Structure 1
């Protein structure tokens, strides 16, 4: 993937964050998933008054992809947060989202790049580095 693809994926994640429903934390997150066929699926975080019911942006994007029948080919992910509008470190997926992303990636036997986006820095990390020794579909065989 070239830099323009990275920038397009980051822009899609930032656009998704604009649709965040985060009235309790004010922490708007956007995620964009790119697949081997070039398609992009986005998601944003959705909070709930019952805090434990909140959905992270990455989980929403994975659910959208799987609901559309996408079961593999995940090559990259971009995650942005509110710190991207001034101050803050690059945002990384939470532990739950790392697991959800791993499940989708494992179905296609990929190890996607995760672009952790901050206001002045983008960290590129392999999903396997964020979730080493992950539990996944092959763990159940």
Structure 2
């Protein structure tokens, strides 16, 4: 992806962060995913008083794309935005979902308050991914 496309995807992640429902942690997160056909889906974290029922921004975006009819491995890129001083990586549950629905080389763009960007990949986030039931 070109720098302008990356910045636009990150802007979408920042915008959707405003829709976060986080009354317990006050920790807003937004995610934007770009599909192979350039369609963009977004998601915000949605909390629940029972934290186990909380859904992260990354999974919200991925599940929305899948619900719209997209197939596994059709995600082209992921951007994650929060209000953090350090880069905000996906949680381990989101990483496992990324393994299921992204190619290992899918770029993941992590941001922080100073607007700098760390580019990583699904493979780098999950180096020993649990990818198959045939073990």
- Tell me the TM-score range normalised by the shorter chain: over 0.9
Which consecutive segments of 4 or more residues in structure 1 shift more than 2 A?
none
**Matched residue count:** 132
Q: Secondary structure at the match of 1:140?
A: coil
* Match of residue 78 from structure 1: 79
User: Is the contact made by 2:104 and 2:122 (CA closer than 8 Å) also made in structure 1?
Assistant: no
Note if 1:112 corresponds to 2:106.
yes
Superposed counterparts of 1:89-128, under 5 Å: 89-105=86-102, 109=103, 111-120=105-114, 121-128=116-123
Superposed counterparts of 1:1-141, under 5 Å: 1-71=1-71, 72-83=73-84, 88-105=85-102, 109=103, 111-120=105-114, 121-136=116-131, 139-141=132-134
In angstroms, what is the RMSD of aligned CA positions? 1.1
Q: Secondary structure at the match of 2:124?
A: helix
More helix by share: 1
In 2: Cα distance, 1:55 partner to 1:63 partner: 10
What is the TM-score when the length of structure 2 is the normalising length?
0.93
What is the TM-score when the length of structure 1 is the normalising length?
0.89
* 5+ residue gaps, structure 2: none
How much has 1:140 moved relative to structure 2? Answer: 2.1
In 1: Cα distance, 2:68 partner to 2:87 partner: 29
The 1:79/1:2 distance shift into structure 2, 3 A limit, reads same
In 1: Cα distance, 2:69 partner to 2:130 partner: 22
